[in-house]
Structure 1
């Protein structure tokens, strides 16, 4: 009897921390990754259309943009057809590319007020989950609100959709502890089940931004399990034979740094991982003397401390756990 991926994981788990992770590449430097804040990649199944979020440094003005790959280069981004009026962020595509989910503070129904949330005595733009569907002409439908308990509390972030229709997301809910945890809902008739917290360990640990494998075999997320190099690192957990999740492990190699890494998403190819990071070019003093041109060029470049989009390959990590395709 051949070993299943889960059985292989038992024997190969120690290899995770030494599995090969190829060096990251900045996505579209100067075009997609700029001196502003960019996060949350959503790639179409053919890999040629990329949706992402761009915002100011305070992240109070979020908009979803779209770019197309032409002759190996990403086109100048445009505002997505369904975005540009509200605080829209964190796009994600269903594995078949027929739905794009995102979160927004737009009113959930006609005549309602924009969604607001409060935490720690502060009020801010809240979020509900929305989606647009692919029409026969290839365009997106008008946004549709996802009704149900998953939108309770007005703080739902970074949805990720499995091929089964399960939606994973991070949220602050009554059983989240002091910060955020990851939840999942399952399709039920015309709606979804009540959110279930994904059990990954002590809720004292902050966990956000899930990226679920379309087949549900592994989950990548941002957080701090006590060994993060920066404010947040990226971790991976694997589905076990009994349906529970393995103990999360920090992803190896250059994926994590002393900067902030978050908002992971999976590309259409096995091991293709997109990450938002505010890592920057190092500055040491005394530095080469700047003139105004060199100073402006450096401060307006992507690696000025703003969040940018990076692409990594974690196929080696997956292979070490018996996941080959």
Structure 2
């Protein structure tokens, strides 16, 4: 379990994907049950612009063994995931794609130099895999190039999580930095001709509130993130803040409908379609007792299904929320 998950803890072969228009506002769909969403932990969806290739993270329950996988959709079905070409050796997680699909960012504990030691951090006397921000670039022919570490102060401290990239190259992320308070906050590293500027904390209110996992609109008109602004239904819920005419961020709003639950919701990301939102949640099937009498086989089968309390990927439609705030494309 990583430092950020310590804080959060305190506070069938192929599957048909429903047409996006079939999703009622605020109601969700489990992504690829048994294929993408399983009895393990799945988070951090990143889709290509055509919506037919999905990168995501899969890990054990303690999230000490994180790997980035990729699945391709054909005839409305997600295929069996494979380890992404750039992952599988280090603690790699939280993939995100640029809007054009030509660059994929992720965080990793891989050594800064070949042959070096993996990145580590210590927090509250415990030793964890650290995280630096890396990216891979699409090459001619469609393959990914070699991973490259992002230069700049955003990698200071080796505790950077859930990057999200605006169309102009600005990178939003969550981290624990000197001005974060006791928990985590969201930061932005502005992209310029000389590279990335020093990160600035995104002002969303009292830093006593824990805020993580930003998903930035490519045009930076709104920001979705995980946290608790005092009205969370669970340990973390999803909120949206809209950019104001003066450039500041408005008061964060609790997302409506079934997006939030009494379980943990985090790691939001925007899909290629207008209003398409992907979410990680550990919501589970309700248990009623007495349950049907289990055998060892039925017990194992049920405990290995997606809705067993592990984190899974869900898809929602927030188009109405965006339109209500003057965003229609």
- TM-score > 0.5 by shorter chain: yes
SS of the equivalent of 2:258 reads helix
Q: Any conservation in 2 of the 1:35–1:306 contact (CA below 8 Å)?
A: yes
Q: CA deviation at 1:120?
A: 1.4
- The equivalent of 1:165 in structure 2 is 169
Q: Which runs of 5+ in 2 are unaligned?
A: 1-23
Whether the 8 Å CA contact 2:26–2:256 is kept in 1: the answer is no
- Structure 1 runs of 4+ with >6 Å offset: none
The two structures have a TM-score, normalised by structure 2, of 0.92
Distance 2:238 2:105 in 1: 22
Which structure carries more relative contact order (alpha carbon 8 Å, separation 6+)?
1
Q: 1:248 pairs with 252, 257, 271, which one?
A: 252
- Residue from 13, 24, 34 that aligns with 2:28: 24
Choose from 209, 231, 235 the match for 2:239.
235
Distance 2:295 2:323 in 1: 49
Are residues 1:114 and 2:122 paired? no
Residues 150 and 194 of structure 1 are in contact (CA less than 8 Å); yes or no, is this contact kept in structure 2? Answer: yes
CA contact (8 A) 2:174 2:213 kept: yes
Structure 2 counterpart of 1:177: 181
| Candidates 190, 215, 223, aligned match of 1:219 | 223
Asked whether the equivalents of residues 273 and 312 of structure 1 are also in contact (C-alpha less than 8 Å), the reply is yes
Query: Which string of whole-angstrom CA distances, capped at 9 and with x for unpartnered residues, describes residues 57-78 of structure 1?
Result: 0000000000000110000000
Structure 2 counterpart of 1:125: 129
- Deviation, 1:289, is 1.6
Q: Which residue of 1 aligns with 2:301?
A: 297
Q: CA–CA distance in 2 between the matches of 1:60 and 1:129?
A: 18
> Residue 22 of structure 1: CA displacement?
3.4
Q: What runs of 5+ residues in structure 1 fail to find an aligned partner? A: 1-19
1:65 to 63, 69, 89: 69
CA RMSD of aligned residues (A): 0.9
Aligned-pair CA distance for 1:190: 4.3
| TM, length-normalised to structure 1 | 0.93
Q: Which residue of 2 aligns with 1:313?
A: 317
SS of alignment partner, residue 23 of structure 1:
coil
**1:21–1:252 CA contact under 8 A, matched in 2:** no
1:250-301 Cα deviation digits (max 9, x unpaired) = 1011000010000000000111000000000010211122223322221110
Aligned pairs for 1:28-47 (under 5 A) are 28-47=32-51
> Are positions 1:263 and 2:263 aligned together?
no
Matched residue SS, 2:27: strand
Q: Distance in 2 between matches of 1:124 and 1:200?
A: 28
- Taking the aligned partners of 2:151 and 2:169, their CA distance within structure 1 comes to 15
Q: Structure 1 residue 274 and structure 2 residue 293: aligned? A: no
Residue number in structure 1 paired with 2:12: none
Q: Map 1:2-17; keep pairs closer than 5 Å.
A: none
**Within the alignment, does 1:100 sit opposite 2:104 as a pair?**
yes
8 Å contact from structure 1 (residues 44, 97) kept in 2:
yes
Do the aligned partners of 1:67 and 1:76 also contact (CA within 8 Å) in 2? yes
Out of 152, 157, 166, the residue aligned to residue 153 of structure 1 is 157
